[in-house]
Amino acid sequence: MRLTIAVLMLFLGVAMAHDTSTAGKVDAKHMKAWEQLGDEFLDQLYSFHPTGATADGLHQHDAELEDYSKAGVDAEIAALKQRLAQAEKFSEQGLDAEAQIDRRLMLGYLNNRLLTLEAIRGWEKDPDNYQSGITNSVFVIMARNYAPQEERLKSVIARERKMRAVFAAARANLKNPPRIYTEIALQQTPGLISFFEHDVPLAFDKVKDEKLLAEFKSSNAAVIAALGDYQKWMKEDLLPSSTGDFRIGPENYQKKLLYQEGVDIPLDRLLEIGMANLRANQEWFRKTAAEIDPKGDPQEILKQMQHDHPAPDKLLQAYGDLLDGLRDFIIKNKIMTVPSQQKPAMEETPPFARATTFASMDTPGAFETKATEAFFNVTLPEASWSKEEVEGHMAGNSRPVMLAVAIHEVWPGHFMQYLWMPLFPTKLRKVLGSNTSTEGWAHYTEQMMLDQHVAHDDPKMRLGQLQDALLRNARYIVGIKMHTGDMTYDQAVDFFVKEGYQTKSIAERETKRGTGDPTYLVYTLGKLQIMKLREDYKKKMGDKFTLQGFHDSFMKHGLIPIREVRKLMLGEDSPTL
């Protein structure tokens, strides 16, 4: 892997040097000062977010837990403002082009985090932040074998002993949350209790130290009891007073897009662009369905396609064969450089994640040095399920769905992003990025791979891809309209059904998600920006354009806002849409 990356670095070096040639005179002393500021920023980031440090592969904070109290929030705000003043004062003059981008990335993160804490104030509105937050703090220790079970269990115990304070902070902080937030939290709690009751002990089943197990039994039981008390308090005290508004408003929405994604396009124009793409995909959907059955109803055709799936006991093998085929296709057709021989291991989803995970890509954190395996996890039917439950689960593994999932999660989606991470030019790029580049890329690849004939132009595969695209189109419109007051919750559900071609149950789930994830438009927004960049880059390169050259050039800079990628690839700050 290291040899392959070294060779690729030599190949990409000329392009990288060209990209940075317009940065002006670089001052070595100023660059060193910037690197120091970047290191201080990361140290501060992880001191306030030790769970994030664990996830990123830095384990010196494993025994620590976030301070959820109002005092903790105030302390982070003060630290963010101090760091923001430093970053704003730090001149870009004398920095190379990559460092200039990193400075803007840092400013975006700092401004977005302050917006989240001071204006959007989820810590006052969302009761699930507390219970799901502490669950994730244990999950990231369980999920990867970066140290022996005994050592990791000690970290779990240390974190669990701090969790009662989290629920005390929740009771003190929460003020008139939106009713939908409290309802979602109440729906979540039984699963979280089950996680601590069953999944956490199972993850440490090889520990033999009786003293350590006794300490864990005590700390874990205290968390379970605290969750039960929290559930009761939410139901009896918090829910009746939950009359707040989940909408963040147009001003905060626009700022969030700017800080997080580098997008400054007015919201009314974004809606025009989103609706145009929705209509285009709907028309494409209808034409594709007609290729399968000219007289059939498109929704019925989709239902029939759900019966085309592997046998349950062959599901892992089917996914494995699919992944190998996709990787070979990418190499043979020069879709993109594969910078490593590493492949993800096919695994059944771990027991502690099966309730909420259908299929997932589990890659190591950016700084992980020990647990460097990557896993593509697939949830298999349980032996205790009825025939109807098994068939319902397997319908979600129809071959069009499997293809979309494999492309999005692995080749050339999120796993490919992970393989390119060692080539990202700076340390900050391994931590900071934008969702339009991350999820936008994975969504873009779903259509791109079919456009390159990976499915031999099978209309059923295209129909499955288009249904996913319409789901993301609906998120785009709903996210903006709900949070700017132009659409009610019920209207959003209706929009997912009628315009996004989704079932009622999926529509309700997606609308619930949208109340707390206002910018889940990033899938389509990123995809559209990447497609425009590709066309503009093609015009610039002329006869020298290749798809592999475009994809490699896009990915090598890191998962930065696409506006920044345009500057590097086109040499200009031009409209992204």
Q: What is the DSSP string of 48-101?
A: H-HHHHHHTT-GGGTT-----SHHHHHHHHHHHHHHHHHHHHS-STTS-HHHHH
Residue type, 12: L
Phi-psi region of 262 (alpha: psi -120 to 50; beta: other; left: phi over 0): left
Q: pLDDT (tens digit, 9 = 90+) per residue, 114-143?
A: 999 999 999 999 999 999 999 999 999 998
Residue given tokens 């460092």 in the structure block: 99
Q: What is the pLDDT of residue 301?
A: 92
Q: What is the pLDDT of residue 355?
A: 60
Max CA separation in the chain (angstroms)? 71
Neighbours of 63 (CB within 10 A): 17
The token pair at 552 is: 């490699």
Structural contact between residues 239 and 466, judged by C-beta atoms closer than 8 angstroms: no
Band (pLDDT 50/70/90 cuts) for residue 563 is very high
Nearest CA-CA partner of 455 in 335, 331, 329: 329
The residues near 1 (Cβ < 8 Å, ≥ 6 apart) are: 340, 341, 342
- Comparing 73 with 299, which gets the higher pLDDT? 73
The token pair at 201 is: 């002990």
The 3-state secondary structure of 167-199, one letter per residue: HHHHHHHCCCCEHHHHHHHHHHHHHHHHHHHHH
Q: 108-117, 298-307, 510-519 — which is least confidently predicted?
A: 298-307
Q: What is the pLDDT of residue 13?
A: 43
Nearest CA-CA partner of 347 in 336, 359, 337, 355: 359
Q: pLDDT (tens digit, 9 = 90+) per residue, 415-433?
A: 999 999 999 999 999 999 9
Rounded average pLDDT over 7-34: 62
Q: What is the pLDDT of residue 16?
A: 40
Round to whole Å and give the CA distance between 521 and 263.
12
Band (pLDDT 50/70/90 cuts) for residue 202 is very high
Round to whole Å and give the CA distance between 201 and 195.
9
Rounded average pLDDT over 225-250: 98
Model pTM?
Answer: 0.93
Q: What is the pLDDT of residue 382?
A: 86
Q: What is the pLDDT of residue 303?
A: 86
The token pair at 215 is: 């300490």
Q: What is the pLDDT of residue 269?
A: 98
Is pLDDT at 46 greater than 80 in this prediction?
yes
- Comparing 551 with 384, which gets the higher pLDDT? 551
Is pLDDT at 14 greater than 50 in this prediction?
no
Structural contact between residues 174 and 238, judged by C-beta atoms closer than 8 angstroms: yes
Rounded average pLDDT over 457-466: 96
Residue given tokens 């810590």 in the structure block: 123
Is pLDDT at 162 greater than 70 in this prediction?
yes
* Dihedral sign (CA 217, 221, 224, 226): negative
Q: What is the pLDDT of residue 392?
A: 85
Question: What's 234's DSSP letter?
Answer: I
Q: pLDDT (tens digit, 9 = 90+) per residue, 484-543?
A: 999 999 999 999 999 999 989 889 989 999 999 999 999 999 999 999 999 999 999 999
Round to whole Å and give the CA distance between 146 and 157.
17
Percent of the chain with pLDDT over 90: 89
Round to whole Å and give the CA distance between 436 and 529.
8
Mean residue pLDDT across the chain: 93
